[in-house]
Amino acid sequence: MRRKTLVILVLIATVLLPMWFVALQGEPPAEEIAIDQSVSEMQPLAGIVDVPNKLSPSQVGVIVWVALFGLVAVLVAVHRFMNRAVRPPDDVSAAADPGRKVHLPWLTGEDRWVVEYHAASEALEGLAAMGGLTVLAIVFAALFTGEYLTLARTQFFGLYATGMFLSLALLTVAYYAWFLPHLEVAEHRGHQS
């Protein structure tokens, strides 16, 4: 593990551990309220993971902080994947063809030019990833719709919606990584008086 990553994790733990200790001193968990089973067989409170029925404001705050840090970690991982997994390393790009000029008329001008350009890899694994993610998004959308339109238990709405939106987000990531060219543009900027 890199030193910078370790320092960041220690700082996060230093902030979250006291917050979690304070949150544990909050309200005791409440008693579960369930549907009368003689009227309906639906169990909307049943789920895959046991969760508390009531959280104190302190506990909610800690959970929100953990979720935000988790989101930042996911964004960093996705960004690194998009920029490193299917792009050539920097030393390869510098040695590729330094004399080759790329002219994109809609992007270049007198004060703007393309510094680095790599065509999209369009690899077969990218097509497979996009196909699989498309099927996964359709499956989650069908499950979500089926859960809504039938008398099924409704506790999986969040799970299906999460799966659908994550599949769509990863589909965008896969498209960017494998099917969009990578380019860097430089531009002269000056203050005119």
Higher-confidence residue of 14 and 98: namely: 14
Q: What are the pLDDT digits (tens) for 114-154?
A: 888 878 888 898 899 999 999 999 999 999 888 888 765 66
Copy the structure tokens of residue 10: 């220690």
Residue with tokens 């990553």: 5
Q: What are the pLDDT digits (tens) for 9-48?
A: 888 888 878 877 777 776 665 566 666 667 666 665 566 6
Domain residue ranges in the chain: 1-85, 97-188
What is d(CA 176, CA 90) in angstroms, rounded to the nearest whole number?
A: 19
Quick one: 133 exposed, middle or buried, by C-beta within 10 A (0-12, 13-18, 19+)?
buried
pTM surpassing 0.85?
Answer: no
